[in-house]
Amino acid sequence: MTWREQGWLCVSVPFTWLLKEARGVCLSHPTERVVVGGPAVRLMPEFLADVAEVETMAPDNPLCRANPEASRTTLGCPNACPFCGVRTIEGPFRELPDWRPAPVLCDSNFLASSDAHFDRTIERLKRADFREVDFNQGLEAKRLTKRRAARLAELNIRPRFAWDRPEEAAAVFDALSKMERAGVPRSRFHAVLCLIGFRETPEDAMYRLQTLKDRGFLGFAMRYQPLDALKKNGYIAPGWSERLLRDFCRYWNRQAWLPDMAFREYQREQHDARQGALALDGQEGQGPS
C-alpha cells in the first residue's frame, strides 16, 4: 500500500514475498523521498535499506488505511512461537491506553491482556453497538476462561481460534465448548485456523483437520511461510511435497463444496485431471498430421 504524507512517498509492506515488488515501487520514484515500513520491513529491514528510508520503530502501522473498520487494543504477544514474527514486528506485549473502537480487532493476542483491559474493551465495544465483532487475528484457546467467554458473548462475536500443534487439541475444543455454553451458536464460529507444514507430518495435519470435521467444526489450512520468504508457498517441509501441500490445503479449504468427498478421492480426481491436461497438451503440440 502506498500514499503520500508530508512530502514523503510512504510504502507499507505486509508480507515478505511482496518486498521485491516494493523495491520496484521505490526504484520507480527516484526523485521522491521514500519511506518504507510494515510487518515485512520489520522482519527484513535490510532488504530495502539501499533504496528508501526504513521505518522500524513504529509498530502502530496504518491499519485504518488498509481497513477503516479495523483497529487494535494491544500490541505484541507474550508467546515466542518459532513460526511467528509478532515479537519482531510489534515488540513486547503491551496494552494500548487509547484505541479507536472498530468491528474488526487485529490484536495479536487479545486474551493475554489484563482483566481490567479486557473488561474496558468489552464495554467500549458494547457501547459502539457494532453489528458484529471479529477478533481477526484469533483468540488463544488456552487463555480463554469461562468468565471471559461469557463476556465475549455479550458482543455479537464470531469466534476465531487457532490449532497449531496436535497436542493443543484439548485446549481448542475446551475453548469452542466454552463459547457455545456462553450462548454463541456454532453457526457463528469462524473456521479453526490450522498451521500446515511446520515441523509436522502430513498425518499430524490430517489428524487436526479431520478431527474438527468429525466434531462438526470447520477447519482452515494455513500453509506455513518462513519469516524471510521472498516467494509465497515456496517452502516445502520435510515429509511433504509441493503437490501434497497444494492438494491438502485446497481440499480442506473447499469443504463447503466437498463435504462428502474423502481426501484420497480428491487426490485421485486431481491426479486424473492433471494427467488429462498433460495428454491434451501433448496432442495439441503434435500439430496436423
The values of phi and psi at residue 10, to 5°, are: -100, 130
Element (H, E) at 287: none
Q: Work out the mean pLDDT of the chain and round it to a whole number.
A: 93
Q: What is the pLDDT of residue 9?
A: 95
Position 289 in a domain: no
**Rounded CA gap, 218 and 236, in Å?**
25
**Rounded CA gap, 49 and 26, in Å?**
11
The amino acid at 97:
P
Residues 122, 257: one domain? yes
Residues 165, 104: one domain? yes
Is 82 exposed, middle or buried (CB count within 10 Å of its CB: 0-12, 13-18, 19+)? exposed
Confidence of residue 284 (pLDDT cuts 50, 70, 90): low
Evaluate if residue 179 carries a pLDDT over 90. yes
Position 281 in a domain: no
Evaluate if residue 116 carries a pLDDT over 50. yes
Residues 46, 98: one domain? no
Residues 200, 96: one domain? yes
Residues 159, 231: one domain? yes
Residues 107, 173: one domain? yes
Q: What is the pLDDT of residue 191?
A: 94
Position 288 in a domain: no
Please tell me which residue, 281 or 260, carries the higher pLDDT value.
260
CA distances to 201, 206, 211, 212, 284 from 166, in Å: 11, 10, 10, 12, 47
Q: What is the pLDDT of residue 152?
A: 98
Task: Give residue-wise pLDDT tens across range 231-271.
Answer: 999 999 999 999 999 999 999 999 989 999 999 999 999 98
Cβ neighbours of 62 (radius 10 Å): 14
Task: Supply the range of the domain harboring residue 27.
Answer: 2-54
Average pLDDT over residues 156-162: 94
Residues 36, 132: one domain? no
pTM recorded for the entire structure:
0.89
Residues 43, 152: one domain? no
CA distances to 13, 81, 147, 159, 284 from 234, in Å: 19, 21, 42, 31, 30
The three cell numbers locating residue 37: 515500513
Q: What is the pLDDT of residue 288?
A: 55
Residues 14, 125: one domain? no
Evaluate if residue 181 carries a pLDDT over 70. yes
Residues 46, 113: one domain? no
**Rounded CA gap, 153 and 158, in Å?**
9
Q: What is the pLDDT of residue 59?
A: 53
How many separate domains does the chain show? 2
Is 42 exposed, middle or buried (CB count within 10 Å of its CB: 0-12, 13-18, 19+)? buried
Q: Which residue, among 77, 74, 76, 73, has the nearest Cα to 103 in the 3D structure?
A: 73
CB 192 within 8 A of CB 218: yes
Evaluate if residue 149 carries a pLDDT over 70. yes
Residues 49, 69: one domain? no
Residues 24, 152: one domain? no
